[in-house]
Chains A and B, each alone.
Chain A
Amino acid sequence: MIIARQEDVTTAVLEAFAKTPDPRLREILMALVRHLHGFAREVKLTEREFQEAVNYVVQIGKHTSDSHNEGVLMAGSLGLSALVCLLNNGNAGQTETDANMLGPFWRDDAPAMPNGASIVRSPTPGPAMFVDAVVKDRAGQPVAGAKVDIWQSSPEGLYENQDPTQAEMNLRGVFTTDEEGRFSFRSVKPAGYPIPIDGPVGDMLRAQGRHNFRPAHLHVMVNKPGLKTLISQVYVNDDPRLDTDVQFGVTRHLIGNYVRHAAGEPAPAPDVTGEWYSLTHEFVMEPGEMRMPRPPIRSKALAAE
């Protein structure tokens, strides 16, 4: 159709989109256009604002590389990732779930480790942490032989792929649950950290007067054929930013039971001096399909970057 008035634009676009043969794609794109146009109408978006918005999107792509995904960071900063996660887990958001966002730092090639081993691969400051966890299904039965991917930032708030001073795959490892569904490992206590603000996400946060920190957390992904891949984060209970996470990831259920032990209290390893932490957690896997996500990044940042 030839457009006569502003109101005709949405009708013309929906008419063109109605030709989409795939019904799910048609549904998504038609809803997207209605909401996108509804947004522009509601705020009466000006031409200058529109041009700035286009440039924001361009910059999201320009700031995405093999070692950083600005698109994932923006989706998280708009709360979309948290929403999609909860919409698709825990009975469509109606019950508690261990599911949480993948985040932009998972790598699909972390090394396999025996239970009890340490994922500290190069000297890393911070208190030792011993994690003892169990994986169960909804009926409460242990899930044996599940692959558990662990990744976290250092106490300085950097993932190894962001930090040339850390060894390749530092604070990353893949464990396998035993016949009781248990896995355990040693690490250091994670720290909260700032998300990168040298791109459009940083511009947005500054304009909104928001801080750019995530509360400290441990990333966990559990895979076992016959169960839905569980992507989780367990947040550190003493973090001051639990209620202002820049990525809106913290749910009540995922605030972990990190227990502080004073220096001198007997630790699970003889070399521990000073205070140390322990964490126990029970992960519940939901029925569904095992499906690994696509890795948001593919490599480690080079020292030259």
Chain B
Amino acid sequence: MIIANEDDVTPAVLAAMNQADDPRVREVMAALVKHLHAFAREVKLTEDEWGIGVDFITRLGKKTTDTHNETILCSDAVGLSTMVCLMNNGKNGGTESASALLGPFWRMHSPETKSGGSIVRSPTPGPALFVDCEVKDAKGKPVVDAEIDVWHASTEGMYENQDDTQANMNLRGKFHTDKDGRFSFRTVLPAGYPVPVDGPVGQLLRAQNRHRFRPAHLHFLLNKSGFKTLITQIFVNGDQYLDSDVVFGVTPPLVGDYKLHTDGPAPAPDVNGEWYSLDAHFVMEPGNSKLPIPPIA
């Protein structure tokens, strides 16, 4: 249709988009356009502001590389990622969910590691952490031979792909559950860390007077055919940023019970000083196992 005035723009766009064969494409795009146009109308977006917005979007893409995904970071920083996560897990967000964000740092091919092994692959400071995990299905039966990816930041708050001083795949590993649905590994206690602020997301956070920290956490991705792929994080209890996570990722069931040990024998003889232990329990929901698109290569 030919547009006569401002009111005509949205119907003209919806009419064009209604030609899509796929009903889901029609539904998603029509809703996107309605909300996008309503946003512009509500704030009466100026031409300059439109330009700043378009430039912001193109800079998200330009800032994204094989080792950093600025677009996911932005989606996280506006709460969209957590919302999509909670809507699609734990009975449409109606109940507590064990799921959490994938985040921008998962790598597809982390090294296969024996249960009980260490994922510390180059000298990494910080107290030792021994993690014991148990994976069950919704009925409480152990999930045998599930594949589990573990990844986390160093005590200095950097993932290995961000940090030249760490070995390739440091603090990353792939495990399999045994006949009791268990696996365990050794690592160091993760630290909270700042998200990168040298791109458009940093500009946004500064303009909003927001801090840029995530509370400390371990990432897990659990995969086994017949079960919905479980992507989760276990946050360190007591972290000062639990209630102001810059990416809105913390929910109560995901706060772990990391136990500090100041004396007594550690699970490994070389441990000096204080160390931590964590017992983690995962429940996999029935569904399709499907790995996400890796945010970085």
Bound-state CA distance A15–B243 (Å) is 12
Task: Kindly provide the distance from the CB of B40 to the nearest chain A CB, expressed in whole angstroms.
Answer: 5
A61 to B25, CA, bound (A): 22
Residue numbers in A under 8 Å from B255 (CB-CB): 2
State the CA gap A16–B269 with chains docked (Å). 45
* CB atoms of A44 and B87 under 8 A apart: yes
Q: Is there contact, CB below 8 Å, between B242 and A2?
A: yes
Q: Does A115 contact B (CB under 8 A)?
A: no
Identify the stretch in A3-11, A260-268, A272-280 within 8 Å (CB) of chain B at 4 or more residues: A3-11
Question: Which of A38, A64, A87 has the most C-beta atoms of chain B within 10 angstroms of its own C-beta?
Answer: A87
Tell which of A35, A60, A64 touches B36, judged by Cβ atoms closer than 8 Å: A35
Contact A35 B63 (CB under 8 A): no
**B6 near A43: Cβ-Cβ < 8 Å:** no
Say whether B5 contacts A86, CB under 8 Å: yes
- Please report the C-alpha to C-alpha distance between residue A1 and residue B251 in the assembled complex, in whole angstroms: 9
B61, A62: Cβ atoms closer than 8 Å: yes
- Which of B2, B20, B59 is most buried by chain A, counting CB atoms within 10 A of its CB? B2
Query: Complex: how many Å from CA A293 to CA B47?
Result: 9
A22 touches B207 (CB 8 A): yes
Residues of chain B contacted by A90 (CB below 8 angstroms): 5
Interface size in chain A (residues, C-beta < 8 A): 91
Contact in complex: A80, B5 (CB < 8 Å): no
Interface positions, chain A 47-78, Cβ under 8 Å from B, are 47-52, 54-55, 57-64, 69-72, 74-75, 78
Contact across chains for A36 and B35 when beta carbons are under 8 A apart: yes
Q: Among the listed stretches B69-77, B123-131, B259-267, which one makes contact with chain A, having 4 or more residues with CB under 8 Å of it? A: B69-77
Top-7 shortest CB links A-B: A61-B61, A93-B6, A6-B93, A79-B13, A13-B79, A86-B6, A71-B58
Question: A64-B62, A209-B19 are known contacts. Are A20 and B209 too (CB-CB below 8 A)?
Answer: yes
Contact mask B15-52 → A, CB, 8 Å, 1/0?
01101111001011101111111111111111111110
Query: Mask for B252-279, Cβ within 8 A of A = 1, else 0?
Result: 1001000000000000000000000000
A174 beta carbon closer than 8 Å to chain B: no
B58 touches A10 (CB 8 A): no
Report if B115 contacts A (CB, 8 A). no
Give the distance in Å from the alpha carbon of A39 to the alpha carbon of B47 in the complex.
23
Q: Within the complex, what minimum Cβ distance (angstroms) separates B212 from chain A?
A: 12
CA distance A87 to B10 in the complex (A): 12
Q: How far is the CA of A207 from the CA of B23 in the complex (A)?
A: 11
How far apart sit A17 and B13, CA to CA, in the bound complex (Å)? 31
Partner of B83, one of A6, A27, A93, A204: A6
User: In the complex the two chains form, what is the Cα distance from A121 to B59 in whole Å?
Assistant: 35
A residues in contact with B248, CB < 8 Å: 3, 9, 12-13, 16
Given A2-B255, A61-B61, A75-B50, 12 more A-B residue pairs with CB atoms under 8 Å apart are: A2-B252, A36-B78, A42-B31, A43-B28, A46-B84, A78-B13, A84-B40, A208-B16, A208-B20, A251-B4, A255-B2, A293-B51
Q: Which of B79-97 contact A (CB under 8 A)?
A: 79-88, 92-94, 96
| Chain A residues packing against B (C-beta within 8 Å) | 1-7, 9-10, 12-13, 16-17, 19-22, 25, 27-29, 31-33, 35-52, 54-55, 57-64, 69-72, 74-75, 78-88, 90, 92-94, 96, 204, 207-210, 242-244, 246, 248, 250-252, 255, 291, 293-294
Would you call A21 and B3 a contact (CB within 8 A)? no
At the interface, yes or no: B108 with Cβ under 8 Å from chain A? no
Chain A min CB distance to B295 (Å): 8
How many residues of B are in contact with the other chain, CB < 8 A?
Answer: 88
Instruction: Given the known inter-chain contacts A32-B39, A83-B6, please indicate yes or no for A88 contacting B61, CB distance below 8 A.
Output: no
* 19 A-B residue pairings within 8 Å (CB atoms): A4-B252, A9-B79, A25-B207, A25-B208, A31-B39, A35-B35, A39-B34, A40-B80, A61-B71, A63-B61, A71-B58, A80-B36, A86-B9, A208-B19, A208-B29, A209-B19, A210-B19, A252-B3, A294-B55
Residue of A nearest to B85 (CB): A47
Please tell me which one of the listed residues A21, A45, A81, A252 contacts residue B87 in the complex, with CB atoms under 8 A apart: A45
* Neighbouring B residues of A28 by C-beta, 8 Å: 43, 45, 49
The verdict on B109 contacting chain A, using a C-beta distance below 8 Å, is no
CA distance A74 to B55 in the complex (A): 12
The answer to whether B6 and A87 have CB atoms under 8 Å apart is yes
Cα distance A42–B29 in the bound complex, in angstroms: 11
Give B152 Cβ to nearest chain A Cβ, in Å.
20
B290 interface residue (CB < 8 Å to A): yes
**With A71-B55, A80-B36 known to touch, is A47 a contact of B292 (CB < 8 Å)?**
yes
**Residue contact B54 to A75, C-beta cutoff 8 Å:** yes
